[in-house]
């Protein structure tokens, strides 16, 4: 029989909070989960919104095993459904493998909300799952002050480069591979093709500039050579047709073996570059998957990083929810696996949420890892979105595909696992 997802929502300041409890036994930190309490709570919902929730929160019992925080609005709000479904699948599978059940709750926060302020009057579980692209300084301060472990399921950008120096970094656990791993894979592919002379372009955004700097540093350390008149990455605006034409003239003059472009998928810059004519000896290199066609070959990287457990996860997820998952769902699933491992540890305390996980342990299938954790052994399971070798303040490695697209449209994929043992 499938678990039924029970939901209760009420207002906390400007945030709506929903509680989820697979066991349907009691209140959680964010609400109540039985149908009878749910009906009663709806009657009092307006009163709670008016009077505030501080006194109500103070009366709640201990908060269970995990609190999953999701964005309530904004551009990233849509990621919440995928994260939640992946997380739920991990809990359902855990319940089938063992007789222990995860008691978890979900809360919605406005993007940019002060986590410490929103949660300061709440009892917190051993593990918190932060919202996507969480602000690391307040999140680290919360983890440090409340002595809790925090999972960062979708934290992949340049902020990770400074994570180790942030307050509370020893309690912050990135679950997804950093985007810098995509750069390392591209460098490896170019070196294998002996394309060491390159020109480097970025669209000027902060993220892409950081990735360009990572590429330049990594490539030059491996014997690559930046050629042309620019001392570093050239910034080209996709709306500036003249700048793109000048870039084409410079490439024709300097004849690099690779024109490396750091930009987002299907951006204006990407489209403008694909419209130019390039020497056939030049390869267009993207930090995204190749698109369109051009007389020059293209090389790019599939942004959908995965782990050794992806195949089983993909199959189970499609069977459960009826659509093919992506990186977001895989991140939620891996966060759910880590929470389930923590539940197996019977003597776990509030500040030991990651006690059941050991990034250096041999990888075990999920059910086997859960049983090992129940026996008191720290373990590591098959990751859906990574190799699950993350540490505090250190993102995991993952499996990535580099895609080469020739002028005739033929594509060849090469799989790289830089962290594979």
Q: What pLDDT, on the 0 to 100 scale, is given for residue 352?
A: 80
Range with top average pLDDT, 44-48, 108-112, 225-229, 345-349: 225-229
Query: What's the start-to-end Cα distance of the chain, in Å?
Result: 38
Q: Taking the C-alpha atoms of 157, 160, 166 and 171 in order, what is their torsion angle to the nearest 10 degrees?
A: 110
| Per-residue model confidence as pLDDT tens digits over 272-283 | 999 999 999 999
Q: Where do you find CATH 3.40.50.2300 in the chain? A: 8-178+308-381, 180-302
Task: Round to whole Å and give the CA distance between 415 and 410.
Answer: 17
Q: What pLDDT, on the 0 to 100 scale, is given for residue 109?
A: 83
What is the rounded average pLDDT of the residues 231-249? Answer: 95
What is the rounded average pLDDT of the residues 331-346? Answer: 92
User: Which residue in 265, 366, 259, 269 sits closest to 308, CA to CA?
Assistant: 366
Task: Round to whole Å and give the CA distance between 179 and 156.
Answer: 6
Higher pLDDT, 27 or 265: 265
Place of tokens 């090469």: 414
Task: Round to whole Å and give the CA distance between 355 and 189.
Answer: 37
Which three-class secondary structure state does DSSP give residue 297? coil
If you classify domain 180-302 with CATH, what class do you get?
alpha beta
| Per-residue model confidence as pLDDT tens digits over 14-26 | 333 333 333 322 3
| Per-residue model confidence as pLDDT tens digits over 145-156 | 999 999 999 888
Q: What pLDDT, on the 0 to 100 scale, is given for residue 348?
A: 64
* Residue 242, burial from CB neighbour count under 10 angstroms (0-12, 13-18, 19+): exposed
Q: Which sign does the torsion angle of CA 369, 371, 373, 377 carry?
A: negative
Q: What pLDDT, on the 0 to 100 scale, is given for residue 38?
A: 39
Which three-class secondary structure state does DSSP give residue 194? coil
pLDDT over threshold 70, residue 385: yes
pTM assigned to the model: 0.82
Q: Pull the structure tokens for residue 107.
A: 């809360």
pLDDT over threshold 60, residue 61: no
Task: Round to whole Å and give the CA distance between 103 and 148.
Answer: 17
What is the rounded average pLDDT of the residues 68-84? Answer: 85
Task: Round to whole Å and give the CA distance between 263 and 271.
Answer: 11
Helix (H) or strand (E) holding 293: none
User: Which residue in 177, 178, 226, 176 sits closest to 202, CA to CA?
Assistant: 226
Domain 8-178+308-381 listed as CATH 3.40.50.20: no
């Amino acid at each position: 029989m499938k678990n039924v997802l029970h939901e209760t929502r009420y207002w906390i300041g400007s945030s709506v909070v929903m509680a989820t409890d697979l066991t349907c036994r009691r209140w959680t930190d964010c609400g109540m989960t039985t149908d009878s309490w749910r009906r009663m709570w709806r009657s009092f919902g307006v009163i709670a919104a008016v009077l505030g929730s501080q006194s109500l929160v103070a009366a709640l019992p201990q908060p269970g095993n995990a609190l999953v925080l999701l964005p309530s609005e904004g551009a990233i709000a849509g990621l919440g459904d995928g994260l939640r479904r992946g997380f739920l699948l991990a809990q359902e599978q855990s319940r089938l493998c063992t007789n222990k059940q995860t008691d978890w709750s979900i809360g919605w926060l406005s993007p940019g909300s002060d986590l410490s302020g929103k949660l300061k009057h709440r009892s917190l579980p051993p593990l918190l799952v932060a919202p996507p692209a969480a602000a690391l300084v307040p999140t680290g301060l919360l983890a440090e002050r409340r002595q809790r472990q925090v999972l960062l399921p979708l934290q992949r950008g340049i902020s990770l480069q400074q994570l180790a120096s942030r307050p509370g970094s020893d309690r912050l656990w990135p679950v997804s591979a950093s985007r810098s791993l995509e750069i390392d894979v591209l460098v490896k592919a170019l070196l294998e093709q002996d394309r060491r002379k390159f020109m480097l372009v970025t669209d000027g955004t902060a993220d892409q500039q950081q990735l360009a700097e990572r590429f330049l540093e990594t490539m030059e350390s491996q014997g690559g050579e930046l050629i042309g008149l620019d001392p570093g990455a050239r910034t080209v605006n996709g709306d500036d047709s003249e700048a793109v034409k000048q870039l084409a003239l410079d490439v024709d003059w300097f004849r690099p073996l690779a024109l490396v472009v750091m930009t987002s998928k299907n951006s204006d810059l990407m489209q403008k570059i694909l419209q130019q004519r390039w020497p056939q000896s030049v390869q267009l290199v993207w930090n995204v998957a190749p698109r369109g066609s051009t007389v020059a070959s293209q090389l790019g990287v599939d942004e959908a990083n995965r782990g050794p457990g992806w195949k089983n996860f993909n199959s189970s997820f499609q069977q459960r929810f009826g659509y093919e998952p992506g990186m977001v769902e895989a991140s939620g699933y891996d966060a759910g696996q880590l929470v389930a491992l923590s539940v197996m540890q019977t003597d776990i305390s509030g500040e030991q949420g990651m006690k059941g996980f050991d990034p250096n342990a041999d990888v075990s299938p999920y059910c086997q890892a859960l049983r090992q954790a129940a026996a008191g052994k720290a373990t590591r399971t098959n990751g859906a979105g990574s190799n699950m070798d993350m540490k505090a303040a250190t993102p995991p490695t993952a499996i990535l595909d580099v895609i080469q697209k020739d002028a005739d449209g033929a594509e060849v994929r090469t799989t790289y696992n830089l962290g594979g043992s």
